Structure 1
């Protein structure tokens, strides 16, 4: 009889354990479902809303790109830039968060003004002379030996950077 009682106790404990686990398992699934929704699991209606927002966002980006190319950048060609910047040794380096313009003809007898902070690299032909960090808008440094410059700027300035010759 003792063996029967021991078997019943095990069966009873097993049954109670299964009942508790089943109850917890249901809560766990609901909690997982909620956390999945919070982590980005979408129903088809939500996915359609997101797609619609993405379409609008793409249109806004295209409009911004059109505005970027249509703003007056003066002497700078912003449609033919290279990623990165020109460092103080004359090497192109850096991240894709920066752009460098193609060479711009430079006359050291003239004054030039830039609209935002940038890095100005001075060249004589293909020979690198110097890179100067221009911290804010204003006149750029005059370098007598230079005949071209390249301007490196952060992408966030693309819609407002310009380089102009100042009239005397």
Structure 2
């Protein structure tokens, strides 16, 4: 009996020992580090996602701000344009002859001559826009020019103010007046409310009226020469013809050979130049052309011309014989 108990106790001890040996040990420290690494990875992934979201929001905000700024700029442009237009509309009228020099004892008569008269005063040339209204404030004479070419003189009688005639062929005017009007005469660059038009008492006769600026839209004719002529043997460099018909040295000028001219025909020149007129070999006169295009001045009896022109205009110069 005692032997059986001992054997049974030993078997139990052996079983207990085997059970303790087969149990898998739990490694607590390794499990905590793995959990921490897993939580760190999750945290980093979450931070990356949040950073990406913030970047997208930032980009979206920048794009939105740029669009808003562009919209504001576009909205400001019409306002600036309206401001400029308003400023133009509110510009005060100007007396365009205020700073122009005056010449005592002369006036521009109905033939366009600078006529000596002790009881008259005239201005020097004033720039003129033929599409704009002008008002002269007292009795005066208005003479219209295109460059140096006279067009006509209008007499604006007594008192004033008068809205002067529009002459689109002109680019300059001269105002002549009597000494009593010297302190009151003005030429205003608008049609004054208290002024009226059509008050010309007298004007240049039709046969003396100049043509002024040619109307290019209606111009038809024959071109007298081309670029081959201007760069050929019939054009001489380094000289021009003066007012006395003499050839003088001028490095920046060219002069053409003789060109046929008919005083019964109309010609238009396209570049500033000097035109020298001849009857055969006899020199008649030299005329300077400053405003172009321009009609050639008619010189009765001339049958040849020479053209002196600056080298800046070699590509612009031509003469058109009008139909």
TM-score by length of 2: 0.29
SS of residue paired to 1:116: coil
Q: Distance in 1 between matches of 2:283 and 2:308?
A: 15
- Please identify which structure carries the higher strand content: 2
Distance 2:262 2:283 in 1: 16
* Alpha-carbon distance in 1 for matches of 2:298, 2:288: 13
* Counterpart in the other structure of 1:75: 224
5+ residue gaps, structure 1, are: 1-72
Of 115, 131, 141 in structure 1, the residue corresponding to residue 270 of structure 2 is: 115
Residue deviations 1:102-152, cap 9 Å, x none? 111000000110001100000001100000001122101000110000000
CA RMSD of superposed structures (Å): 1.5
Q: Which has the higher contact order (CA 8 A, sep 6+)?
A: 1
* CA pair 136-94 structure 1, distance change in 2 beyond 3 A: farther
Q: Establish whether residue 131 from structure 1 lines up as the match of residue 286 from structure 2.
A: yes
> Does the 8 A contact of 1:106 with 1:146 survive in 2?
yes
Q: Of Structure 1 and Structure 2, which has the larger fraction of its residues in helix?
A: 1
Give the TM-score, by structure 1 length: 0.54
Structure 2 unaligned spans of 5+: 1-221
- SS at structure 2 position matched to 1:95: strand
The total of aligned residue pairs comes to 95
Q: Which has the larger radius of gyration?
A: 2
Misfit runs of 4+, over 3 Å: none
